[in-house]
Amino acid sequence: MYHLENNQVAVGFVIHLNYENPYISPFDEFQRFKTHPKVRPYFEGGKRLVYGSRAINEGGIQSVPKLVFPGGALIGCSAGFVNVPRIKGSHNAIKTGMMAAEAAFASLKGGSQGHDELTAYPEAYKKSWVFKDLWKVRNVKPALKWGLWLGSFYGGIEMWANSLGLGKLLPWTLRHKKADFETLKLAKDCQPIAYPKPDGVVSFDKLSSVFLSNTNHEEDQPSHLKLKDPSIPIAVNLPLYAEPAQRYCPAGVYEVVEDAGGQRFQINAQNCVHCKTCDIKDPSQNIVWTVPEGGGGPNYPNM
């Protein structure tokens, strides 16, 4: 929670996308969080200004992909440079942008006509404090596979050892157990979650929240959310996982509707706030997020 000027408060709530219960709704968890007696007073009597959502790339240093390709480079969070336990990535985004720009400048100065691979950028990254920053926290997220308490305890010890300069005594790098889309259990083995109804004071519904994201897409364009196989949501995801897209999407884009023709998977693509969760979490890996036409998407004025 951040206390800003003009008596404004910004609150963020993070759900690890390797959660197991398909009935979890990150949006509703967030609403419920605001009703906690220690949190509620900050929002009671206030006015909602903006709402948004975004996936945080939690893979850490062991998940950073190849950073350059002909004519381009991955910088900031597109490459996964966020420091996961601190939820801080602005510094690494700025620094990697600077390193890529310096590599581009040196390449052009050396006579390049463009479209080359800026190999100087990944080399600079490996020697930079960005790499050191991420190296120190690389095992914190994977350690959570041992459970919240043991994993957090281990992560804390490792971060403490690194802060004392003892990191060389802990040279190993833990692997992530599974990809996020592989972690859902079957719906029949999980308990549905009865979330409290929004009270309209500190907790709200999805659609009025999405309205505050100012998201906008030109209506007469093909959906930017593509299904590899349109039958999977109803034929596979619904019976096995109670179609979790209805809940993990924080913008209410995906609905299972019932009409004369039976059950149907509806995609309200115009509501999408571009968080990319569907592309990551769909257990069948059937949803592909593509760039919409016309620069549409959320328009966050002060987030």
Ligand X SMILES: Cc1cc2nc3c(=O)[nH]c(=O)nc-3n(C[C@H](O)[C@H](O)[C@H](O)COP(=O)(O)OP(=O)(O)OC[C@H]3O[C@@H](n4cnc5c(N)ncnc54)[C@H](O)[C@@H]3O)c2cc1C
Where along the sequence are the contacts to ligand SF4 (CB under 6 A)?
Answer: 225, 249-251, 253, 272-278, 289
Which residues neighbour 53 within 8 Å (Cβ) at sequence distance 6 or greater? 26, 27, 213, 250, 251, 273, 275, 277
Q: Which is nearer to ligand X, 4 or 291 (CB)?
A: 291
Q: How far is the CB of 24 from ligand SF4 (least distance, A)?
A: 14
Amino acid letter for position 199: D
Q: How far is the CB of 253 from ligand SF4 (least distance, A)?
A: 4
Q: What is the DSSP letter of 184?
A: P
Residues between 236 and 295 with contacts to ligand X, criterion CB under 6 A? 291
By CB under 6 A, tell whether 90 contacts ligand X: yes
Residues between 67 and 86 with contacts to ligand X, criterion CB under 6 A? 76-78, 82
For residues 298 and 196, what is the distance between their CA atoms, to the nearest angstrom? Answer: 27
H or E segment and range at residue 241: helix 238-241
Contact 66, 83 (CB under 8 A): no
Q: Which of 63, 55, 48, 61 is nearest to 18 (CA)?
A: 55
Q: Which is nearer to ligand X, 101 or 240 (CB)?
A: 101
Residue from 22, 89, 122, 198 touching ligand X (CB under 6 A): that is 89
Residue with tokens 């979490």: 281
Q: How far is the CB of 89 from ligand X (least distance, A)?
A: 2
By CB under 6 A, tell whether 222 contacts ligand X: no
54 binds, among ligand SF4, ligand X, none (CB under 5 to 8 A by kind): ligand X
187 binds, among ligand SF4, ligand X, none (CB under 5 to 8 A by kind): none
Please, which residues bridge with residue 256 across strands?
265
76 binds, among ligand X, ligand SF4, none (CB under 5 to 8 A by kind): ligand X
Q: How far is the CB of 16 from ligand X (least distance, A)?
A: 13
Q: How far is the CB of 32 from ligand SF4 (least distance, A)?
A: 19
Beta strands of the chain (E only): which ranges? 2-3, 9-10, 68-69, 72-73, 225-227, 254-259, 262-267, 287-289
Question: Per-residue x/- mask for ligand X, residues 116 to 155, rule CB under 6 A?
Answer: ----------------------------------------
82 binds, among ligand X, ligand SF4, none (CB under 5 to 8 A by kind): ligand X
Q: Which is nearer to ligand SF4, 82 or 278 (CB)?
A: 278
Contact 224, 292 (CB under 8 A): yes
Residue with tokens 């971060």: 159
Which residues neighbour 73 within 8 Å (Cβ) at sequence distance 6 or greater? 67, 100, 103, 104, 118, 121
| C-alpha dist (Å) from residue 118 to 82, 134, 250 | 22, 22, 37
Q: Which is nearer to ligand X, 75 or 242 (CB)?
A: 75
By CB under 6 A, tell whether 161 contacts ligand X: no
| C-alpha dist (Å) from residue 195 to 27, 30, 148, 185, 273 | 10, 11, 23, 20, 22
Q: Which is nearer to ligand X, 14 or 166 (CB)?
A: 14
Q: Which is nearer to ligand SF4, 150 or 288 (CB)?
A: 288
By CB under 6 A, tell whether 4 contacts ligand X: no
Binding site for ligand X (CB under 6 A): 12, 54, 56, 76-78, 82, 87-91, 93, 291
